Amino acid sequence: MDLVIARPEGLYCPAGDFYIDPWRPVERSVITHAHGDHARTGNQHYLAAAPGEGILRSRLGQDINLQTLAYGEQVVHHGVKLSFHPAGHVLGSAQVRLEYQGEVWVASGDYKVEPDGTCAPFEPVRCHTFITESTFGLPIYRWQPQAQIFAGINDWWQGNIAAGKASVLFCYSFGKAQRILHGIDASIGPILSHGAVEPLNRVYREAGIYIPETLYAGDVQKNDPLLRQALIIAPPSAGGSTWMRRFGDYSDAFASGWMRLRGTRRRRGVDRGFVLSDHADWPGLLWAIEQTGAERVMVTHGSVGVLVRHLREKGLDAQGFTTEYGDDEEEATA
Amino acid sequence: MKAFAELYANLDATTSSNAKLAALQAYFLQAPPEDAAWAVYFLSGGRPRQLVPTRLLRDMATEACGIEPWLFEESYQSVGDLAETISLLLPESTYTSEDGLAVWLEEKLLPLRGLSPQDLAERLPALWAQLDQPSLMVCIKLITGSFRVGVSKLLVTRALAAMAGLDSKRVAQRLVGYTDLSNRPTAEGYLKLIAAESCDEHAQRGGQPYPFFLAHGLSQPAEQFNALLGAPADWQVEWKWDGIRAQLVKREGRLWIWSRGEELVTDRFPELHSLLHGLPDGTVIDGEIVVWKESVQPFALLQQRIGRKTLSKKILDDAPVAVLAYDLLEHQGEDWRNHIQAERRAQLERIIAQCNQPVLRPSPVLTGATWADLAEQREASRELGVEGMMLKDRKGLYGVGRTKDMGLWWKWKVDPFSVDAVLIYAQRGHGRRASLYSDYTFAVWDGPPGSERTLVPFAKAYSGLTDEEMRKVDAIVRKTTVEKFGPVSSVTPSMVFELGFEGIALSKRHKSGIAVRFPRMLRWRQDKSVDDADNLATLQDLLT
């Protein structure tokens, strides 16, 4: 019997009568992480990993009916044992482990396998069936170690300071922004955050994650000479808006896994593309799947067809799950 | 090689012409002349003959990447560029080569041509292993010859001119023919491009043509022409011919024919060789090669013979060409581009009269008292098989490329044909449209509304939409895909577009029986349903 099936409302556990990351309002929801396409408003009950509480509440409302568990802590619901395990994607992100009558399934939500210091690193969990994302499910996606990417960002920033230009770095405001702030060399110059980024910085700091001092960009006057030294962290939606005018002469860059391809880089029309993703690359996906020891793999959002076929050729029982994940700006093709 | 790959990355990373110019100058300043020679060649559009058949290149790359062919294909479809795909899939290497661009080309890449698959399988991976990802991509682009990086020849010209302290017109002149297959880039050739001007330069020009002067589009209504252009009498008006723009160069007892792409095409038009005896030495004529049988014939006929390697007697009989001459660039060995249009035209007519050969005809000058009068004459364009009219400033000089500072040419084209067609297939694009569904196949109905009818494909188009519209179409394609045939997705018909095209002809090769020229999307008709799209009868009416 399948522990998880795809229903119009979301991924459903029939034995436990709850949904994982439902995209339509339901009675009981288990949330892997707080990105908009996985955590939606309108559910009666929410269950999530404890480190994600602050962000979930700040995004879905302080008064949601939310119960949390520490990583590894177990609850039993209708006979289904449920626990959360780190997914390494963003702060509070978790894989959901379900055990029922000796059968173990793991729904991983979104994950990346390289530890980044802003959230608990991905932890492989042995299971019979593994539900995996496939956002970057093609062998063309291979990430460089993040230290190299951060060094590239530092160099670009310093180069801009030398040229008297502001450095505007576009990235997703939850997760990527904080990972960058955590990883770059903050001694280079002042750092400004867009209004969409600044509140999340606060949540990360409250969770004890090192985020260097940031100024709210709205507090800095247009033409302030400080801007020509500054790194400005902003969501992609700020690009091309009137908000950008205050920075005068600037160089812009975009940090995303999609920047691996020239086509997407050029479509973005920014000066630089930094290949930095909070999702697993192709080798990462294959490594994670292998680590679980699962013989059955359900593939969700991304390159479903490709990953399914590849896994089948490797002798695994793989199939696709139709979901509505990946519509968030985090995962949509840049 | 690394310096050139860095230049490529810098050019690729920006859309600003000034930034590109700066990157080019920085490269040329430090590059050894033998490397710079090849850089100029590729950046201004040169393509050596295919070094490795694409099929073999793919197979070898797939093998070297250690993945299944289908996975390679999926990756390619997503990236939209073969060289980039291969460079992203091969195992990461560090850059270890010590050779420059010229050594890479002359000693490593050019010798690959004609090698057996076994030899290639031995050599290619060893070459690849010396390069990092950006250099590898550029290396494979050199092999495949598809080297587009958003740099125009004009920009290369400006960069060289600025670096060498020369007038860019002088550099443009020297660059003509540089990318022709017969020219192999050398350090010596490059140094000549940037050498200080010498007084005997003009005398040593051989068969060199002049850079073509290009026209600007004119799309305003004729009512505004008086305000915009002044009186018609100030303009030399001609038909805009639908043929091959060419320069005839007669010097030192020899004749050269150059196409607009600066390709030497003398051999392709044997019926023009008689002009060798009709034109005096030191004559350069600009005009249009067309198929001529008492009147100009459709471009389709000319197209049939362009691609042929050997020209049979039948082809020469079926599609004989003539030159419709419209400008004189050199007379008695003197550069005449600084004479005004009216003077050049008058002298051109004298030369044509003296030559007195039916293969060289003046492109007739049209007259009209008012713009309205000319607009009325222009209505006959389609019947005459021309694209509209050319308006040339009678006091203007002959400029270089698409410039406006020396003289001014306008092309006043007739509106394209248009029909409302339905998008039925979509394919992902290349370059900056990689992984976006941007190339579409369009269909019309094979019967009138109300009848039992199906959609028949008749044209492919990929231009005319804004980025924003394309993203929307892409999203709809993804949601409404019915079936995939390799890279092509068939979709549930739902989107109607106004499709424009320049010409239409019967065709046995197309299911619809019709072939159209230069199809492109004029508008997305979101106000129309699929049932409102045109049918084949509409297209057939346009044939007459």
pLDDT per position as a tens digit, B217-233: 998 889 999 999 999 99
Among candidate residues A225, A248, A274, the one where a domain is terminated: A274
Rounded to the nearest angstrom, the minimum Cα separation between B386 and chain A is 37
Mark whether A286 and A251 lie in a shared domain: no
Expressed as residue numbers, the domain containing A220 is 146-274
Nearest residue on chain A to B431, alpha-carbon basis? A263
pLDDT of the residue at B515: 87
| Residue A165 contacts B where some CB pair is shorter than 8 Å | no
**Structure ipTM:** 0.92
The mean pLDDT of B205-226, rounded to a whole number, is: 89
pLDDT of the residue at B487: 77
Nearest residue on chain A to B79, alpha-carbon basis? A261
Angle between helices B69-79 and B54-65 (to 10 degrees): 110
The mean pLDDT of A90-104, rounded to a whole number, is: 97
Disruptive mutation site among A140, A322, A329 for chain B (greatest number of B CBs within 10 Å):
A140
- A140 and B79 within 8 Å at the Cβ level: the answer is yes
Distances (CA, A) of A289 to A122, A311, A320, B471, B485: 12, 9, 15, 33, 30
The mean pLDDT of A230-245, rounded to a whole number, is: 89
pLDDT of the residue at B33: 96
In chain B, which residues have their Cβ closer than 8 Å to the Cβ of A260? 88
Mark whether A229 and A137 lie in a shared domain: no
pLDDT of the residue at B383: 84
Domains identified in chain B and CATH numbers: 216-413 (3.30.470.30), 417-542 (2.40.50.140)
pLDDT digits (tens, 9 = 90+) for B384-411: 889 899 999 999 999 988 888 889 999 9
What's the Rg (C-alpha) of chain B? 26
pTM of this structure: 0.77
Nearest alpha-carbon partner for A330 in A244, A265, A235: A235
- B435 and A263 within 8 Å at the Cβ level: the answer is yes
Checking if the pLDDT of B433 tops 80, the result is: no
Checking if the pLDDT of B205 tops 90, the result is: no
Q: Where are the alpha helices (DSSP H) in B232-387?
A: 275-278, 299-306, 313-318, 341-355, 371-378, 381-384
pLDDT of the residue at A328: 53
Q: Where are the alpha helices (DSSP H) in A196-317?
A: 198-206, 262-268, 282-292, 304-313
Name the phi and psi angles at B237, rounded to 5: -110, 130
The mean pLDDT of B490-511, rounded to a whole number, is: 87
The mean pLDDT of B152-160, rounded to a whole number, is: 89
Confidence of residue B432 (pLDDT cuts 50, 70, 90): low
pLDDT digits (tens, 9 = 90+) for B110-125: 999 999 999 999 999 9
Mark whether A328 and A286 lie in a shared domain: yes
Mark whether A135 and A284 lie in a shared domain: yes
The mean pLDDT of B444-463, rounded to a whole number, is: 90
Mark whether A10 and A136 lie in a shared domain: yes
Task: Tell me the torsion sign for CA atoms B376, B245, B162, B334.
Answer: negative
SS3 B270: helix
Q: What is the DSSP letter of B533?
A: S
CATH code assigned at A198: 3.40.50.10890
The mean pLDDT of B229-241, rounded to a whole number, is: 95
pLDDT digits (tens, 9 = 90+) for B71-109: 999 999 889 899 999 999 999 888 889 899 999 999 999
Nearest alpha-carbon partner for B352 in B286, B299, B269: B286
Confidence of residue B178 (pLDDT cuts 50, 70, 90): confident
Mark whether A76 and A137 lie in a shared domain: yes
In chain A, which residues have their Cβ closer than 8 Å to the Cβ of B75? 138-140
Nearest alpha-carbon partner for B365 in B339, B410, B326, B409: B326
pLDDT of the residue at A84: 98
Mark whether A44 and A165 lie in a shared domain: no
CATH code assigned at A16: 3.60.15.10
Mark whether A166 and A114 lie in a shared domain: no
Distance CA A99, CA A80 (A): 6
pLDDT of the residue at A221: 86
Among candidate residues A249, A274, A299, the one where a domain is terminated: A274
Angle between helices A198-206 and A176-183 (to 10 degrees): 70
Nearest residue on chain A to B88, alpha-carbon basis? A140
In chain A, which residues have their Cβ closer than 8 Å to the Cβ of B13? 265, 271-273
Mark whether A69 and A45 lie in a shared domain: yes
Nearest alpha-carbon partner for A283 in A147, A136, A90: A136
| Residue A245 contacts B where some CB pair is shorter than 8 Å | no
Distance CA A20, CA B76 (A): 34
The mean pLDDT of A40-65, rounded to a whole number, is: 95
Nearest alpha-carbon partner for B238 in B371, B412, B474, B414: B412
Among candidate residues A225, A256, A274, the one where a domain is terminated: A274
Distance CA B331, CA A284 (A): 70
* Residue type for position A239: G
Across the A:B interface, residue pairs with CB atoms under 8 Å apart total 63
Rounded to the nearest angstrom, the minimum Cα separation between A165 and chain B is 15
pLDDT digits (tens, 9 = 90+) for A288-306: 999 999 999 999 998 999 9
Which token pair is B384? 């005459």
More confident residue, B44 or B487: B44
Rounded to the nearest angstrom, the minimum Cα separation between A307 and chain B is 10
Q: Which of residues 281-310 of A touch B (CB under 8 A)?
A: 303, 306, 309-310
SS3 A20: strand
In chain B, which residues have their Cβ closer than 8 Å to the Cβ of A333? 435
Checking if the pLDDT of A327 tops 90, the result is: no
Distances (CA, A) of B538 to B30, B75, B385, B457: 60, 41, 20, 14
SS3 B268: helix
Q: Which of residues 53-112 of A touch B (CB under 8 A)?
A: none
pLDDT digits (tens, 9 = 90+) for B45-61: 888 888 999 999 999 99
Distance CA A49, CA A108 (A): 13
The mean pLDDT of B15-37, rounded to a whole number, is: 93
Distance CA A124, CA B32 (A): 53
Checking if the pLDDT of B24 tops 90, the result is: yes
pLDDT of the residue at B203: 67
Distance CA B210, CA B401 (A): 10
- A139 and B65 within 8 Å at the Cβ level: the answer is yes
Checking if the pLDDT of A220 tops 60, the result is: yes
Comparing A23-32, A79-88, A195-204, B422-431, which segment has the lowest mean pLDDT?
B422-431
Q: Say which residue the tokens 């070094």 belong to.
A: B51
High-pLDDT (> 70) share of chain B, %: 99
Distance CA A168, CA A271 (A): 10
Mark whether A84 and A122 lie in a shared domain: yes
Comparing A22-36, A123-137, B228-242, B251-265, which segment has the lowest mean pLDDT?
B251-265
High-pLDDT (> 90) share of chain B, %: 59
The mean pLDDT of B470-479, rounded to a whole number, is: 89
Total number of domains in chain A: 2
Q: Say which residue the tokens 């247009």 belong to.
A: A222
Confidence of residue A331 (pLDDT cuts 50, 70, 90): very low
Nearest alpha-carbon partner for B243 in B288, B275, B206, B280: B288
pLDDT digits (tens, 9 = 90+) for B347-384: 999 999 999 999 999 999 999 999 999 999 998 988 88
- B434 and A272 within 8 Å at the Cβ level: the answer is no
In chain B, which residues have their Cβ closer than 8 Å to the Cβ of A262? 12, 81, 84, 431-432, 434
pLDDT digits (tens, 9 = 90+) for B272-320: 999 999 999 999 999 999 999 989 988 878 887 887 778 888 889 989 9
Distances (CA, A) of B467 to A88, A269, B433, B436, B474: 35, 12, 9, 10, 10
SS3 B514: strand
Mark whether A62 and A134 lie in a shared domain: yes
Angle between helices B17-30 and B2-13 (to 10 degrees): 170
| Residue A333 contacts B where some CB pair is shorter than 8 Å | yes
Using an 8 Å Cβ cutoff, are B321 and B302 in contact? yes
Distance CA B297, CA B199 (A): 45
Confidence of residue A334 (pLDDT cuts 50, 70, 90): very low
Checking if the pLDDT of A45 tops 90, the result is: yes
Q: Which of residues 137-156 of A touch B (CB under 8 A)?
A: 138-140, 142
Q: How much is the mean pLDDT over chain A?
A: 93
Rounded to the nearest angstrom, the minimum Cα separation between A257 and chain B is 13
Mark whether A134 and A152 lie in a shared domain: no
Within chain A, what is the greatest distance between any pair of CA atoms?
Answer: 66
Nearest alpha-carbon partner for B101 in B43, B174, B45: B43
B322 strand-pairing partners: B290
The mean pLDDT of B129-142, rounded to a whole number, is: 94
Distances (CA, A) of A41 to A21, A28, A173, A300: 11, 12, 19, 21
pLDDT of the residue at B29: 95
Distance CA A212, CA B387 (A): 64
pLDDT of the residue at B175: 87
Rounded to the nearest angstrom, the minimum Cα separation between A66 and chain B is 34
